[in-house]
Amino acid sequence: MGVSFNGRTNVSKTLYSRSSRDAPAVTNQQLVEKLISDKTLTTPRIIDAFRSIDRKDFVLPGDEGRAYEDRPLSMGYGATISQPTTVAIMLEKLFADGGSPIRGKATLRALAASNGVKILEIGTGSGYMTALLAELIAKKGKVFSIELIPELKGLAEFNLKKYNFRNVCLFVDDGKAGLENYAPFDRIISSASGDETPKSWKNQLKIGGRIVAPVAESLIVLDKTSKRRFKEKEYTGFIFVALR
């Protein structure tokens, strides 16, 4: 679906700097370098994924010239392709170790190397986040992505074929319900905001797993420490589309 960062936060201003006065990026490489310079991207494997997945492949025809702007772009149907800064923040949080961005390899390597690591994505949109996740977890993992709007699922399928992924499954369904038949998941990530984190997502998360999802105008990180207990962190200052 889509999210954007509005810059209205007093938390970690350096990390979330938008550098709005900088010259706009005109290539995917320039976009990645901007995110690195802003200290938004810090994990080498996530940086490599951003370099491998070109945002231009996931925008609508006619928007190619705006593909590397650090802002959300419309996908129609009330959805957007998320702002690159927000996507980067969410992925860094999704694969962070103990709340701090991992230095290099531990968590991501362990996930990628394990057999059957599973990620649930809520809100496929145009497939940009889906592609980044698929690139990150490599061939042994699996990304399960739910999209409410059939036309957007079709768009995502078209876009993802450009990368010949074999570790992605797309569904048209109500994302709030999750995918019980494929649970449990190692990670759950959502690009749309609700009033609370759905109980179904919590139930479908593995112990030791993590949810990164917006609630209202905050980004919530939930670590599942036992069957019914979670450790929560909140990061404020975002704008999200509504979870439908």
193 catalytic? Reply is no
CB atoms within 10 A of CB 5: 27
Q: Which residues are paired to 221 by β-bridges?
A: 212, 233
Active-site residue among 4, 82, 145, 193? 82
**Pairwise CA distance, residues 165 & 52, whole Å:** 13
Query: Which pair of tokens denotes residue 225?
Result: 């420490």
Say if CB 192 and CB 123 are below 8 A apart.
yes
Report the run of H or E that residue 220 belongs to, with start and end.
strand 218-224
**Pairwise CA distance, residues 214 & 241, whole Å:** 9
Token pair 């979870």: residue: 243
Task: Give the CA distances from residue 133 to residues 12, 62, 218, in Å, rounded to whole numbers and listed in that order.
Answer: 25, 26, 22
**Buried-state track 65-95, b at ≥16 Cβ within 10 A, e below 16:** eebbbbbbbebebebbbbbbbbbbbbbbbbb
**Pairwise CA distance, residues 20 & 199, whole Å:** 37
Query: Which pair of tokens denotes residue 70?
Result: 């650090």
Q: Which residues are catalytic?
A: 82
